[in-house]
Amino acid sequence: MKEKVSNNSRVKYIVKLTQEERDALLSLVSKGKASAKKITHARILLQVDESANVENCYSDSEIAKMLHVSTKTVSRVRKSLVEGGLESALNRKPHSRYKPRRLDGEQEAHLIALVCSNPPEGRARWTISLLTDKLVELKIVDSIGRTAVHETLKKMNLSLG
C-alpha cells in the first residue's frame, strides 16, 4: 500500500510494501547483480517501508546518511514508488532528449558508397552539398541536411579530402 499524505504545504509519501515486493527487493539486494543505482534504490525502499512487520523506521535524513545519498534522493524514490510503482522507483526513466538517427544502416552504406565513388563530372571531389543532393536525387532519403551528412561521415572517420 502506498499513499500520499498532505500536511500543510509538505507532501509525505507513505510506503508500505507488500511481502512480495519486500521479498523481491531483498533478493535484488542480496544477489548484487543489478546496477549500483538500482540496488541503492532497493535499499532505500526497504528502509522507508512502514509496514506493520517492520520494527525500525528511520527518518529520510538517517537513511540518507546510512546509504551515502542525499535526502532528496530518498524523497524522490519514495515519490516514484507511490506515483509510478516498484519498477518506476528502481529503474531509470528513458531519456527525454532522445533523437532518432537520421540515417539508418542501409542509408549510411549508400552514403559511404557515394563517397568512395568517383565525384560528378567537372568536380575534383565530393562536397557535403553534393552528397546531400545526390542522396535525395537517388531517393535514398526524402530530405536531409548537410549537418546530418557531415556528422555521419565524421562518426565513420571518413574524410572528403
The pLDDT of residue 1 is above 90: no
Element (H, E) at 71: helix 71-84
Over residues 32-63, the pLDDT tens digits come to 888 999 999 999 999 988 875 556 677 889 99
- Look over the chain and give the mean of its residue pLDDT values, rounded to a whole number: 86
**Measured on CA atoms in the order 88, 83, 25, 40, is the torsion positive or negative?**
positive
Over residues 8-39, the pLDDT tens digits come to 545 678 888 888 999 999 999 999 888 999 99
- The beta-carbon contacts of 73-78 under 8 Å, at least 24 apart in sequence, are 73/44, 74/44, 74/48, 75/13, 77/41, 77/44, 77/45, 77/48, 78/13, 78/15, 78/44, 78/48
Residues 6+ apart with CB under 8 A from 62: none
- Joined together, the cell numbers standing for residue 4 give 500520499
Q: Cα separation of 5 and 143, whole Å?
A: 53
88, 13 Cβ separation under 8 angstroms: no
Residues 6+ apart with CB under 8 A from 88: 80, 81
The pLDDT of residue 116 is above 60: yes
